[in-house]
């Protein structure tokens, strides 16, 4: 399947995605695509950021007015990332991505909520506990910030998607407050220490958290939530079957 932009995932990378639930590509985005997106968010912080809404921004998205801005969506559609994502779901299809989520970890800001270990869209503190707002996988692009573990980095649990699948199958009850089991809550996770232009692709079920940023600069990420075209129908089953929405990967790795 020839593509423009970054080369397709190798068999080794596909195996790693099945094992770890996460893939990282370095320096995928550069030049005008990266500059325009980063400048757009910087401009919003300078002119539109409201400190009184810090909790709402952290729980949902910074710069909500810009979620469908072409300069942000171009990070996904104009860089070749979308083709890489389609390769993971092939032969299933992805729904078009129509909005970006901006997450900023502010430097030395103790008032910004710390996100505990969780998976998105399940038992969210800002949603009704019975609501499901899940997706198939998420793509994150580093726009700016320090590349150290204590600079507001995303921390994830490699392979945690398998534990979460068993948790959803055997322990979880829809509507409960707990987002992850205690053995995952206790983990610090592995930090994604990316530079601007680096990209992370993560299975929805990989548990993750975000801590304080004790560096001198904000950590700015653009995220894109990707849905299988039939995700609404498959969402509940996909919580306990991590490869339900990835048919080729399921066929190639029947024991996972």
Say if CB 45 and CB 20 are below 8 A apart.
no
| Domain boundaries, given as residue ranges, for the chain | 11-252
The pTM is what? 0.94
User: What's the confidence (pLDDT) of residue 127?
Assistant: 65
User: What's the confidence (pLDDT) of residue 256?
Assistant: 64
Q: Which residues of the chain have pLDDT under 70?
A: 1-4, 125-130, 255-256
Instruction: Assign domain 11-252 one CATH number from 3.30.450.80, 3.30.1360.120, 3.40.50.10540, 2.60.120.620.
Output: 2.60.120.620
H/E stretch holding 155 reads strand 154-156
Q: How far is CA 78 from CA 4, 32, 216, in A?
A: 10, 11, 31
User: What's the confidence (pLDDT) of residue 3?
Assistant: 38
Say if CB 143 and CB 222 are below 8 A apart.
yes
Length of the chain: 256
User: What's the confidence (pLDDT) of residue 125?
Assistant: 66
How is residue 87 written in tokens?
A: 């390769």
């Amino acid at each position: 399947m020839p593509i423009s932009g970054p080369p397709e995932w190798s068999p080794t990378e596909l195996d790693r995605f099945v094992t770890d639930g996460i893939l990282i590509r370095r320096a995928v985005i550069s030049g005008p695509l990266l500059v325009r997106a980063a400048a757009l968010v910087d401009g919003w912080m300078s002119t539109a950021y409201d400190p009184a809404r810090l909790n709402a921004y952290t729980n949902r998205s910074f710069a909500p007015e810009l979620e469908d801005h072409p300069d942000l969506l171009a990070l996904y559609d104009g860089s070749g990332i979308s083709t890489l994502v389609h390769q993971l779901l092939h032969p299933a299809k992805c729904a078009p991505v129509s909005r970006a989520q901006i997450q900023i970890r502010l430097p030395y800001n103790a008032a910004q909520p710390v996100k505990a270990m969780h998976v998105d869209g399940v038992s969210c503190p800002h949603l009704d506990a019975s609501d499901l707002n899940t997706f198939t996988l998420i793509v994150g692009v580093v726009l700016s910030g320090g590349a150290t573990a204590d600079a507001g980095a995303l921390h994830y649990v490699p392979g945690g998607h398998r534990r979460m699948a068993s948790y959803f199958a055997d322990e979880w009850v829809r509507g409960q407050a707990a987002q992850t089991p205690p053995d995952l809550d206790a983990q610090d996770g592995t930090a994604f220490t990316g530079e601007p232009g680096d990209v992370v692709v993560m299975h929805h079920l990989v548990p993750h958290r975000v801590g304080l940023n004790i560096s001198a600069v904000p950590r700015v990420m653009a995220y894109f939530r990707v849905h299988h075209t039939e995700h609404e129908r498959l969402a509940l089953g996909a919580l306990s079957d991590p490869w339900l929405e990835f048919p080729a990967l399921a066929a190639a790795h029947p024991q996972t």
